[in-house]
Each structure stands twice: as C-alpha cells, then as structure tokens.
Amino acid sequence: MAEVISSVKRSASDSVVAVPKPGCQFASDNAAGFCPEAWQSLERANSGHVPSYGDDQWTSRASDLIREVFEHSAEVFFVFNGTAANSLALAAMCQSYHAILCHELAHIETDECGAPQFFSNGTKILLASGERGKLAPSAITQAVERRRDIHYPKPRVVSVTQATELSTVYSIDELSAIHDACQRHGLRLHMDGARFANAVASLDVLPRQITWEAGVDVLCLGGTKNGMGMGEAIIFFKKELADEFAYRCKQAGQLASKMRYLTAPWVGLLESGAWLTNARRANAAAARLEVGLAAIPGVEVLGKRDANAVFARLPDTLAASLRAKGWKFYDFIGSGGCRFMCSWATTDADVDALLADSK
Ligand SMILES: *Cc1c(COP(=O)(O)O)cnc(C)c1O
C-alpha cells in the first residue's frame, strides 16, 4: 500500500512529469483511494488491543474533532457509508406515517435503493423541484399544502444535499429561506453532506454557518469522497433526535466492532486540515476542467459549477472516443450530459490529459 500512497500526486507542481494513463479519475470521487493523512492515521491506529464498539480513544478523539470543527456540542455517530447515514438519520427524524421532502435528483431518492423508506418502516419520499439541483422553498410549501388530510403521509422532514448532485451549493441565504419554510410548516431539516467539505470550500464559510446556524438539525458528513477509504459521520445538532440512535445503528449492521478503523482516518483528516485542503483541490481540478472543456468546439458545459463535478454535453463521437481511450465518466446522473467528477487525488496532469484527448 506504501507504493499506492507514494505514487499519489500531492500538488499541481509535481504533476507535470508524466502524462497519466486514462482511467477512473473522472468517474466518481469514490474511485480515489485514501489520502495520505487519513491513511497514516489508520496505520497509527493499527497497534495493540483497544476497546471495541467505539469505546476507544480514536473514536472519542474523532467525535471531539467534529464537535470542534462545527463549534457545537453535537451527538456524533460513525457508520460505513452514506446510504446508511442518510437512511438511519432520516428514520430517527420520522415516524413511519411521515413524509420526507427532497429534490427530485436527491441521492436519497435516486441512489439508495429505497433504504430511507426501508429503515423508517415505510416513510414516503415526496419529490419537489428547484433550479440547478436545489430545492426551492416555494416547492416545500406547495408540497405541504397539496394535501393536509389524514389520508396522506404527513410531511415531517426536508432533506437537502450540500453540495448538490449537480455540483451546485446552497448559499447561507438559500439555506435560511429553506429553514424558514421548515419552521412555517413544522418540518425538521436534514442535510446529506456526502460532499459537505466541497461546499465549505466553495462557499468559503465556516461549517457552522451552513449547518446548525442555518437551522440544520442533522448532518450526514461524508468521509469517503473526502479522502477516506470508507465511513460517514452522522451529526445530531438537535441532540434529542439522537435518542436511542446507537440501537438503530447496531440493528442495521452499522456498528463497527473494530470502530477505531472507521474513526482513526477521521482524526487524520480533521487534525491535519486535509478535509478542507482535499476539497479545495477537488474543486480546483473541476474549475480547471470546466475552463478547458468550455474551450473545446462542440462541447457545451451545462450549468454553473460550484463544487467538484463538471457536467457537459459532448458530441457523441467525442464521448465515444474518450471512452475508447479508456476514460471513465458517467452520463446517467443529473439532468443529462456527461459528469466529470474530480477528487482530492485528481491532478492538473489528469485534467490536462483528458483535455488533450478531447481535442
Ligand atoms: C456518494 C453519495 C452518498 C453516499 O453513497 P454511498 O454509496 O451509500 O456511500 C450520499 N449522498 C450523495 C449525494 C452522494 O453523492
């Protein structure tokens, strides 16, 4: 594994030597490996016997670091992936007869195989619209007012994704307008933060400003796409919602017995500040790619990008020739076009090689 880490390019300046081989660089940010900070911390944790199921110092340190970063005495839990984090958090915020409102492109609707409904014993997801992947406050009100009778599931939670599935971000003002709508209608606010760090980097704000200060009750904070091998944190700013949550995690098969291996990488990411530098690097790679793609005749960049993905419409022949050369990217996500997703490990040379193959 040492080779893997040492072969990872850390900065723009050391990335000009070799042209990288086409591959998964742009398929998803979960195609990247561990970042060195998370990996080294994992390695440090790999010594001796320590208490299991989260009663260890790595887990308490990771929880404390999260509370420091968010400047809040939140309740923190660690699970293996984002589907579990979202589903269990939402289940804790709902009864089975409730409904969750989210954008029609939300991961909880399109990419979690019904897990939010499953773990909440049947809670319904209601879809609402909004420009650029962002839920519009008026759409929340419409969804609530459409039906108020006993025969329809009662809206209880709004879920927003930050950064969104379309690589945009909610500003502080946009979040507070959503929070206003939530308050008017008695709704709780959940945030899917699989790419939360990319949103913080893009907005250049403090984590608290786009979470609890903006009315977010529960945040699912992504570790995997940010530079870990696996693992997400569930952060309850409204602590009463965390009541008995540990049992939910255990029942769902999400309580790691060797918890230190889920939490030590968090310590490395958070102590070093890599959580933010990784996100900045991924966003910067996407910015470079966006400029480069926009300059290629026949390529149309779709929408304004805030975070680490670029959506673009490519001529069919170009998309096919890139794929034939070995490049991987998706074209079924979001609102049409190809998605090029950058990660902490995407180098300028990766971006430039893709652009060179596009010309
Ligand atoms: C990747 C992702 C998740 C988590 O997905 P898992 O594969 O379950 O870890 C959640 N929400 C969004 C928006 C994502 O992009």
Task: Enumerate domains of the chain plus CATH numbers.
Answer: 36-272 (3.40.640.10), 278-358 (3.90.1150.10)
Q: Which residues contact 10 (CB under 8 A, 6 or more apart)?
A: 36
Digit-coded pLDDT (tens) for 90-109 = 999 999 999 999 999 999 99
Ligand 1 center from residue 216 Cα (angstroms): 19
Distance 83 CA to ligand 1 centre (A): 6
In three-state secondary structure terms, 300 is strand
Going by CA atoms, what residue is nearest to atom 2 of ligand 1?
Answer: 194
Q: Going by CA atoms, what residue is nearest to atom 15 of ligand 1?
A: 194
Say which residues have a Cβ less than 8 Å from residue 310's Cβ, sequence separation at least 6. Answer: 167, 286, 289, 290, 293, 301, 339, 340, 342
**pTM reported for the whole predicted model:** 0.94
The pLDDT tens digits for 244-294 are: 999 999 999 999 999 999 999 999 999 999 999 999 999 999 999 999 999
Could you list the beta-strand ranges (E) of the chain.
Answer: 75-79, 98-103, 124-128, 154-161, 188-193, 218-222, 232-236, 300-301, 309-313, 338-341
In whole angstroms, give the CA distance from residue 266 to residue 62: 6
Q: Is the pLDDT of residue 4 over 50?
A: no
Residue pLDDT, tens place only, 282-334: 999 999 999 999 999 999 999 899 999 999 999 999 999 999 999 999 987 66
Question: How many residues in the chain?
Answer: 359
Asked if the peptide bond before residue 163 counts as cis, ω within 30 degrees of 0, the response is yes
Average pLDDT of the residues in 208-219: 98
Q: Side chain identity at 133, as an amino acid letter?
A: G
Instruction: Give 359 Cα–ligand 1 centroid separation in angstroms.
Output: 32
Query: Which atom of ligand 1 is least distant from the CA of 83?
Result: 8
Mean pLDDT (whole number) for 29-58: 97
